Structure 1
Amino acid sequence: MKNVLASIALGCALVVSASAYAAGDMGNMDMGGSAAKQGGDAKAGMSHGEVKKVDTSAGKLTIKHGPLDNLGMDAMTMVFKVKDPAMISQVKPGDKIDFVAEEVDGALTVAKLQKK
């Protein structure tokens, strides 16, 4: 019984020390995230694209876009929902745009849009 208690105590000590080691000194770590890095320059986080199709009734835009770094996606053409339905009236097929896409409730959504 004494050996069992000693083993449990030693195991607990190892778990606690391993947790403390893993946490380490995080004082020099950048905890700001990508949003903080964008700072005042909103265009830095925007992707470039061309509107291929506008589906007003569904509230969707088909956009041929460059890489979407914030989503880890390569350049392609795809359909996006729009966060604000007023965005639909701002663009037409062929327009060049800068935009920010986010995943909202499992759907890729244009959160910000600027016509070039």
Structure 2
Amino acid sequence: MAVYGGIQAHEVERWLNALVNAAFDRRCPLSKVHGGTARARTARQDLLCLAQTFRGEQGASDVVADSLSRWCQHYLTETEWYVLVSGKKPRAGAPAPAAPAQEESTEAIEALLQHKVG
């Protein structure tokens, strides 16, 4: 199970900007967000609702931060979280997948680096 840190209230705007940009960037499909499934559409819609709530000042920053943390736990992989937080490529400690999948994953991580928060 992936371990995610909490998002602080003062970081909400940066996280929302990074996640919305990454979720709609076709070069870096977040593994559980992009795709043609209903779940992917729901994930993006939930993210946009959180952004609208925050930007429309309809919810307190700490409540939106908590909701955004739960969104990340539900929809991001540990690797995606690490890249967004640190802005660094993850270390190669895990067994390597098949060559085509590894190449595709590397390209997605490279593009995701452009949307880093930390």
Shorter-chain TM band: under 0.3
Q: TM-score, normalised by structure 2?
A: 0.26
Q: TM-score, normalised by structure 1?
A: 0.26
The structure that is helix-richer by fraction is: 2
Tell me which of the two structures has the higher relative contact order, counting C-alpha pairs closer than 8 angstroms and 6 or more residues apart.
2
Tell which structure's C-alpha radius of gyration is larger: 1
The structure that is strand-richer by fraction is: 1
